[in-house]
């Protein structure tokens, strides 16, 4: 059965990304895209598996490209022929999961490693 989700007009997508705080996501060739940098192969694999878990739980699957220290995520609702709320919702979950860190001063110490970062140059 085809997905009845409403697709977003391509011109509206950047504004929707900004409204959701998905500043590192972009529209490229009809896909929502995001690059994550990691501190190496083990972290890359952990991130891929974590994203895979979210996708499977959501029953909405991202396209991933993987190399040492980098994961590229692409989202589009194939059955609807474009970008839908499913894509924005999953992008938000992926963003929250990938960049989550324990709160400062909380009971969890947090890794001293670079771990996962946004695709942008670190300040």
Torsions phi, psi for 31 (to 5 deg): -125, 150
Q: Is residue 38 part of a domain?
A: yes
Q: Is residue 107 part of a domain?
A: no
Q: Is residue 108 part of a domain?
A: no
CATH number for the domain spanning 57: value is 3.30.1360.20
- How many domains would you assign to the chain? 1
Structural domain of 18: 10-100+113-117
Q: Which residues of the chain have pLDDT under 70?
A: 1-4, 119-123
pLDDT tens digits for range 62-90? 999 999 999 999 999 999 999 999 999 99
DSSP 40: S
pLDDT at 112: 83
Q: Is residue 2 part of a domain?
A: no
pLDDT at 119: 63
pLDDT at 110: 86
Q: Is residue 1 part of a domain?
A: no
Q: Is residue 19 part of a domain?
A: yes
CB-based contacts of 47-54 (< 8 A; 24+ apart in sequence): 47/71, 47/98, 47/116, 50/97, 50/98, 51/94, 51/97, 51/98, 54/90, 54/93, 54/94, 54/97
| Residue 61, both tokens | 């699957």
Its pTM stands at: 0.89
């Amino acid at each position: 059965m085809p997905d009845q989700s409403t697709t977003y007009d391509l011109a509206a997508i950047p504004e929707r990304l900004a409204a959701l705080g998905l500043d590192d996501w972009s529209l490229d060739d009809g896909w929502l895209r995001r690059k994550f940098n990691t501190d190496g192969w083990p972290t890359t694999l952990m991130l891929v598996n974590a994203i895979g878990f979210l996708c499977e739980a959501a029953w909405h699957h991202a396209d991933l490209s993987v190399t040492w220290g980098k994961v590229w995520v692409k989202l589009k609702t194939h059955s609807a022929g474009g970008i839908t709320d499913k894509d924005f919702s999953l992008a938000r979950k992926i963003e929250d999961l990938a960049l989550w860190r324990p709160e400062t001063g909380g009971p969890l110490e947090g890794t001293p490693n670079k771990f996962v970062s946004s695709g942008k140059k670190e300040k």
